[in-house]
Structure 1
Amino acid sequence: MTIPDPFIALAVKGVQFKVLGQIFPVLRHEILGPLSNASLAAAMLRQPPEGADADAAQQRCQRLAGDLTGMLEDSVGVVRDLDQWMSDSGGTAMADDLFQECRLLMFSHLLLSRHSVRWPEYIAPAELPRFDSRYLMLAWLLCLLPMLPADAELVLDTSEPGVWRARFPDGAAAADAPAPVFEPREIELLAASAGWRLERQDQCWSLHLPDSRPSGELPA
């Protein structure tokens, strides 16, 4: 992705870091989970069970050592995956895989909110740039949810090729709702910089995928 204006590039990075700040607790948990299990396995290695014969103790140590190695490898893999949030390696992903990842990352956020998301049952096949698409999808949802009335449901429709729609009921956000972290213009900026297009209508925000985007310029 090439953006001619360095100020636009910095603005895009700023929005991406805001997204990363929202989902970092989930990413941190993915790292700490295997490490916590590895710490437990290491403690068990240091304390063999009383009364066990030598062969049983050796087999136990070998099994725990194998488990410990696997847990540490899992942690290393998760840490390496974090680099994919910091720089664009040019990788792609299918739309259904992106939605599955987004759903997992949004789970904790939705638990703490008074809103819900009806995830799509069918996702029209599309292969998309993974780096830009993940950030845009998450920002799209994180921007919309605080604007919804209390206890409202955001309905995602991805059945039509080339466009993803988020439909929501009319009404004002709850009085005690936290201030939105993202502004609509920030979502438009992310979309335009990655070749997408955000279309905002009453009760429906649509993301047009890169192949369906007409020629145009970045938001001023």
Structure 2
Amino acid sequence: MKPPDPFSALAARGVQFKVLAQIFPVLRHEVVGPLSNASLAAAMLRQTPDGANAEALQQRCQRLAGDLTGMLEESVGIVRELDQWLTDSGAIAFADDLFHECRKLLFSHLLLSRHSVRWPKDIAPAELPQFSSRYLVLTWLLCLLPLLPTDAELVLDTSEPGVWRARFPEGPAPAAAQPPAFDPREVELLAAAAGWRLERQAGCWSLHLPATSPTSELPT
């Protein structure tokens, strides 16, 4: 795959940062959650239950210490994974794992909107570069949702190898106080930079996967 020119690569990087700003509250919660639980476990360690004998107290402390260690290790792992949003490590993601993660990241966004997504159940197997593919799918969905009619459902079809389709009813989009955060040309930009192709038709936007599974060539 031909590397993108420097201007396109820089523009693609800007789109990725816009996506990161949209999902950052979810990523922050994933880090803070285990730390909050660890703080609670530490507070419980400092308390001595009334009437507890030495053996029971020791078992309790060992159990809480184990829980505390597990929570801290979980939080450290999540913090380390944040690097994968900023730097392309060459990691590969399976298609079903990719959609599972995108569903989790967009959950809060959908709660605050009047749209819904019917996530795919049948996902054709594919191995894809995690860095570029994750950003592309999120941009694809975040661009489409504000363009849909009020209370519309976006239906994702990934059952056919080599192409992912987003189908939606046509109609007037809701009046927005601000312009949509993403433009279709930005989806096309990320797609081209990663060797994909976006096809826009009435009622359906299709992402055509790369013929092979190239690693992301966006600058890090």
Give TM-score scaled by structure 2 length. 0.93
Q: Which has the higher contact order (CA 8 A, sep 6+)?
A: 2
Q: How far apart, in 1, do the equivalents of 2:144 and 2:33 lie?
A: 30
Name the SS of the counterpart of 1:173 in structure 2. Answer: coil
Identity of aligned residues (%): 78
Q: Could you tell me which amino acid in structure 2 is paired with residue 125 of structure 1?
A: P
Deviations 1:104-133 (A, max 9, x none): 111111111000011112111111111100
State how 1:1-220 maps to structure 2 within 5 Å.
3-176=3-176, 178-211=178-211
Q: Could you tell me which amino acid in structure 2 is paired with residue 47 of structure 1?
A: Q
Q: Could you tell me which amino acid in structure 1 is paired with residue 90 of structure 2?
A: G
Q: Could you tell me which amino acid in structure 2 is paired with residue 51 of structure 1?
A: G
Name the SS of the counterpart of 2:211 in structure 1. Answer: helix
5+ residue gaps in structure 2?
A: 214-220
Q: How far apart, in 1, do the equivalents of 2:103 and 2:82 lie?
A: 18
Do the aligned partners of 2:143 and 2:180 also contact (CA within 8 Å) in 1? yes
State the 1:68 CA deviation.
0.3
Q: How far apart, in 2, do the equivalents of 1:17 and 1:48 lie?
A: 48
Q: Could you tell me which amino acid in structure 2 is paired with residue 132 of structure 1?
A: S
Do the aligned partners of 1:146 and 1:177 also contact (CA within 8 Å) in 2? no
Q: How far apart, in 1, do the equivalents of 2:178 and 2:162 lie?
A: 32
After superposing on structure 2, the runs of 4+ consecutive aligned residues of structure 1 that deviate more than 6 Å are: none
Q: Could you tell me which amino acid in structure 2 is paired with residue 184 of structure 1?
A: P
Q: Could you tell me which amino acid in structure 2 is paired with residue 149 of structure 1?
A: P
Name the SS of the counterpart of 2:113 in structure 1. Answer: coil
Q: Could you tell me which amino acid in structure 1 is paired with residue 41 of structure 2?
A: A
Do the aligned partners of 2:4 and 2:193 also contact (CA within 8 Å) in 1? no
Greater mean deviation of Cα atoms: 2-11 or 65-74? 2-11
Do the aligned partners of 1:162 and 1:212 also contact (CA within 8 Å) in 2? no
Q: How far apart, in 2, do the equivalents of 1:163 and 1:128 lie?
A: 13
Q: Could you tell me which amino acid in structure 2 is paired with residue 139 of structure 1?
A: T
Q: How far apart, in 1, do the equivalents of 2:36 and 2:67 lie?
A: 13
Q: CA distance change for structure 1 residues 83 and 159 in 2, over 3 Å: closer, same or farther?
A: same
Q: Could you tell me which amino acid in structure 2 is paired with residue 66 of structure 1?
A: G
Give aligned pairs, total.
213
Q: How far apart, in 2, do the equivalents of 1:56 and 1:94 lie?
A: 46
Q: How far apart, in 2, do the equivalents of 1:109 and 1:35 lie?
A: 24
State the 1:151 CA deviation.
0.1
Q: CA distance change for structure 1 residues 128 and 212 in 2, over 3 Å: closer, same or farther?
A: closer
Q: How far apart, in 2, do the equivalents of 1:77 and 1:168 lie?
A: 37
Q: How far apart, in 2, do the equivalents of 1:126 and 1:177 lie?
A: 39
State the 1:5 CA deviation.
2.1
